[in-house]
Chain A
Amino acid sequence: MRARQVAAIRDVRDTAGLWRLCWTLAWLDIRLRYRGSMLGPFWLTLSTATMVVAMGLVYSVLFRMPLVDYMPFLALSLVLWAFLQSTVVEAGGAFTAAEGMIRAQRMPYMVHGVRVVLRNLLVFAHNIVVVVGIDVVLWIWPGVAVVLVLPGMAIWILDALAITLLLGPLCARFRDIPPIIGSVMQMAFFVSAVIWKPSQLKDHEWLLSFNPFYTILEVVRGPLAGTVPGWDVYVSATLYSTLLCAAAWMLFARVRGRLAFWL
Chain B
Amino acid sequence: MRLKAPHGRAEVNVSNLRVDFPLYHGNARSLKKMVFHSVSGRMGADKNNRVVVQALRDVSFTLRSGERLGLVGSNGAGKTTLLRAVAGIYEPVGGQLRVTGTINALLDPNLGMNPDLTGRENIALRALYVGMPAAMIPELEQDVADFAELGDFLDLPVRIYSAGMLIRLGFGLATAFHPQVLLMDEWILAGDANFMVKAQARLENLVRGAEILVLSSHAPTVVMDWCTRVLWMDQGRIKADGPPEEVLPMYLGAPVKRGD
Contacts and interface: CB of A to CB of B under 8 A. Distances in A.
Interface of A: 17-18, 20-21, 24, 28, 32, 35, 100-107, 173-177, 180, 256-258, 260-262
Interface in B96-115: 103, 105, 107-108, 110-112, 114
Among A17, A21, A101, A106, max chain B CB count under 10 A is at A106
B29 A104 contact: no
Contact of B31 (A20, A105, A176): A176
Given A101-B111, A173-B29, 12 more contacts: A24-B125, A24-B128, A104-B107, A105-B89, A105-B107, A105-B112, A105-B129, A107-B129, A174-B30, A257-B91, A260-B89, A260-B90
B88 interface: yes
Interface in B161-188: none
B128 A103 contact: no
B116 A104 contact: no
Contacts of B103: 106
A37 B119 CA distance: 21
Contacts, number: 73
B34 A174 contact: yes
B111 A106 contact: no
Contact of A106 (B21, B31, B88): B88
Interface footprint category on B: 20 to 34
Contact of A100 (B31, B90, B112): B112
B23 to A, nearest CB: 10
B89 A32 contact: no
Nearest to B88: A106
Interface in B4-42: 21-22, 24, 29-32, 34
Contacts of A24: 125, 128
Interchain residue pairs A-B with the least CB separation, the first 6? A106-B88, A257-B91, A104-B108, A21-B128, A104-B111, A174-B31
